[in-house]
Amino acid sequence: MLQEIKQPISQAELRTRVFRGEILHFTQIPAINEFCAIARQICKLTLENTDPVNSHRAGSYDHWLKAIYQYQLAAQKEAQCKKAFSEALQNIGLKLDETFCDRFVFRVVPPQTEKSEGANSWLETHRDTWGAGVYQQINWWGPVYSYSAGNGIEFYPDHFKQPIANTSAEWRYEQFASARQVQSAELKPKFKPIPSVLEKPKGPIFKPTIKPGELLCFSAAHLHGSSTNVTNLTRFSYETRTVNCQDIQSGEKAPNVDNSSNAQLLKLFKNLSDNSPLTKTHFD
């Protein structure tokens, strides 16, 4: 299931492999090491130099939650993170002027014995295509700190081409955005941030383990989510999504087996070269 990639590959090979369901594992990307180092530096500063993976034990949980939120905001806005990630994509083989990128999400998941109500915490099973509606979307995921086997992201590979009952028909991004504005920033909004499953997924669960400085690449159509954190350490990871003009023009895309929404959240994606937005014109 996991295909290790040590050399740059063409955009054509990348999309063909990802859109047929492969999960690619990029292992030798110096810029991702730099990306993680920047995120760790920000994390330690906002957590007042407390050991981040044990930081949930120090002081009150509310204080920790606010500090984590400040880390997430600062890392998301850090220009050097974007620069390092852009360099990493170039090393992989992507062209920045053809690539549109969503914001970075720095996810923090405390042990299951702790509350997990923070913004960008544990994420339930979903397909990104249910919300974004872009079948050329490619997801990127990596850890900021090391994590134990089976304790990161998880996939249900049998569902790449098999439907599952879900809430995509009624979920609306505008409702989520409104709920996020009226609730304190460090807590999860009342309205779910993504459409979710309505039944238990079938088949095996795939839980890859990769190191900080390495990167997972997979189709947004994969059914995936956060593994429950069964350790006593907080898990730190990051993720983003890209859409490439070549992929749109090629006509290749991931399958839609169960999305009941016609919405497209194109405004989330900005060009990595000039920051221009992805629009319907690109699809025309």
Mean pLDDT for 167-195 is: 70
Q: Left if phi > 0, otherwise alpha if psi is -120 to 50, otherwise beta: which for 262?
A: alpha
Angle at alpha carbon of residue 134, lines to 278 and 152, rounded to 5°: 110
Collapsing DSSP to helix, strand or coil, 245 comes out as helix
Q: List, as one string, the DSSP characters of 22-70.
A: -EEEE---HHHHHHHHHHHHHHHHHTTT--GGGGGGSS-HHHHHHHHHH
In the chain, the domains with their CATH numbers are 2-276 (2.60.120.620)
Looking at residue 190, what is its pLDDT? 60
Q: What are 41-80's pLDDT values in tens digits?
A: 999 999 998 899 999 998 888 889 889 999 999 999 999 9
Question: Packing angle between helix 79-92 and helix 61-77, nearest 10 degrees?
Answer: 60
Task: Provide the pLDDT confidence category of residue 188 given band limits of 50, 70 and 90.
Answer: low
Across the chain, mean pLDDT equals: 92
Please say if the pLDDT value at position 34 is more than 80: yes
- Please report the pLDDT score of residue 187 as a whole number: 59
pLDDT band with cut points at 50, 70 and 90 for residue 120? confident
Whether the per-residue pLDDT at 185 is higher than 70: the answer is: no
Task: Please tell me the predicted confidence (pLDDT) of residue 60.
Answer: 87
> 142 CB contacts (<8 Å, ≥6 apart)?
32, 36, 210, 212, 213, 214, 215, 216, 237, 238, 239
Q: Answer for the pair 88, 81: CB distance below 8 angstroms, yes or no.
A: no
- pLDDT value at 18 more than 70: yes
The answer to whether residue 184 scores a pLDDT higher than 80 is: no
Interval 236-251 mean pLDDT: 97
pLDDT in tens, 132-172: 999 999 999 999 999 999 899 999 999 999 999 999 998 87
Tell me which H or E stretch contains 174.
Answer: helix 173-182
User: Which pLDDT does position 74 carry in this prediction?
Assistant: 96
Which is nearest to 95 in space by CA: 220, 219, 10, 4? 10
Can you tell me the mean pLDDT for 1-12?
Answer: 92
Dihedral in degrees, nearest 10, Cα atoms 195, 277, 81, 7: 90
User: Which of the pair, 65 or 210, is modelled with greater confidence?
Assistant: 210
Q: Which residue, chain included where needed, has tokens 């699809």?
A: 283
pTM: 0.94
Q: What is the 3-state secondary structure (H, E, C) of 59-91?
A: CCHHHHHHHHHHHHHHHHHCHHHHHHHHHHHHH
Confidence of residue 229 (pLDDT cuts 50, 70, 90): very high
b vs e for 98-136, b when ≥16 Cβ sit within 10 Å of the residue's Cβ?
bbbbbebbbbbbbbeebebebbbbbbebbbbbbbbbbbb
Lowest-confidence pick of 78-92, 178-192, 244-258, 260-274 = 178-192
